[in-house]
């Protein structure tokens, strides 16, 4: 006689079922794995949806930001995840990212490096490749433009100072803030990072435009050139 038969979610106590638990206690009462289970809708013959959710999290080191870096092909390699479920998960993660973007008010003022990080973090934190972004500021240090200026590969991206200066002149900006990400997680600036920062700073001076800072974002952390006296 089989004694270790798995219980399906329908056999669980009502308070332990993700949907019922959410309805009764609210979404904040659910673990990350339970929230993923609701998105998946079902598990496999041998794994419940919650157990599949735990496998999904394990594949990203139990880090939702790291999970956001996964591709559809990465996810469908996991037990219980087909293309449809992978797409559902990716869509949910993208909605979360866009929510972060809409939380930041337009023309937000920049008073320190953390202000800039909060504006740019959602755009750069989950990427598996490098991108270069700028913030253009008016005389009151309010953001008048947030713009991606280049996209590269895993270890670098080409930054054209002429594009950045043209945008600054077109928008009559008084200040520029540079930002790019390091998918590797290493916050240390490379010699190329330092060189392009100096080049843009000197070029901007010719037009009375101030370079306020250059941020390197790696996951949920950042390095500020201004804070580290690198500008």
Segments making up each domain of the chain, as ranges: 9-101, 105-224
Write the DSSP symbol of residue 196. H
pTM for the whole structure: 0.60
| Closest to 195 measured CA to CA, from 147, 230, 144 | 230
pLDDT computed for residue 22 by the predictor: 84
Q: Is 10 helix (H, G, I), strand (E, B) or coil?
A: helix
User: Is domain 105-224 classified as CATH 3.40.50.300?
Assistant: no
Whole-number Å distance between alpha carbons of 158 and 149: 9
pLDDT per residue over 139-153, tens digit each? 999 999 999 999 887
Please tell me which residue, 85 or 20, carries the higher pLDDT value. Answer: 85
Q: Would you say residue 190 has pLDDT above 70? A: yes
pLDDT per residue over 96-116, tens digit each? 877 766 655 455 788 999 999
pLDDT per residue over 22-42, tens digit each? 888 888 888 899 999 999 988
pLDDT computed for residue 15 by the predictor: 45
Please tell me which residue, 12 or 193, carries the higher pLDDT value. Answer: 193
Residue 37 tokens read as 């289970």
């Amino acid at each position: 006689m089989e004694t270790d038969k798995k219980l399906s979610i329908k056999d669980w106590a009502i308070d332990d079922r993700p949907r019922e638990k959410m309805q009764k206690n609210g979404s904040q009462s659910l673990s990350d794995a339970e929230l993923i289970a609701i998105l998946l809708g079902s598990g496999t013959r041998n794994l419940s949806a919650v157990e599949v959710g735990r496998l999904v999290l394990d594949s990203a080191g139990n880090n939702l930001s790291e999970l956001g870096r996964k591709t559809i092909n990465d996810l469908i390699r996991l037990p219980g995840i087909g293309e449809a479920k992978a797409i559902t998960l990716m869509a949910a993660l993208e909605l979360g990212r866009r929510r972060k973007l809409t939380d930041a008010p337009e023309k937000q003022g920049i008073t320190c490096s953390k202000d800039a990080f909060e504006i740019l973090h959602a755009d750069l934190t989950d990427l598996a490749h490098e991108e270069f972004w700028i913030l253009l500021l008016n005389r009151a240090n309010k953001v008048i433009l947030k713009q991606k200026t280049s996209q590269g590969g895993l270890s670098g991206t080409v930054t054209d100072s002429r594009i950045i200066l043209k945008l600054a002149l077109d928008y009559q900006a008084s200040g520029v803030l540079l930002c790019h990400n390091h998918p590797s997680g290493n916050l240390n600036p490379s010699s190329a990072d330092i060189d392009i920062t100096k080049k843009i700073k000197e070029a901007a001076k010719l037009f009375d435009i101030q370079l306020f800072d250059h941020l390197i974002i790696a996951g949920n952390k950042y390095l500020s050139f201004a804070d580290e006296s690198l500008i």
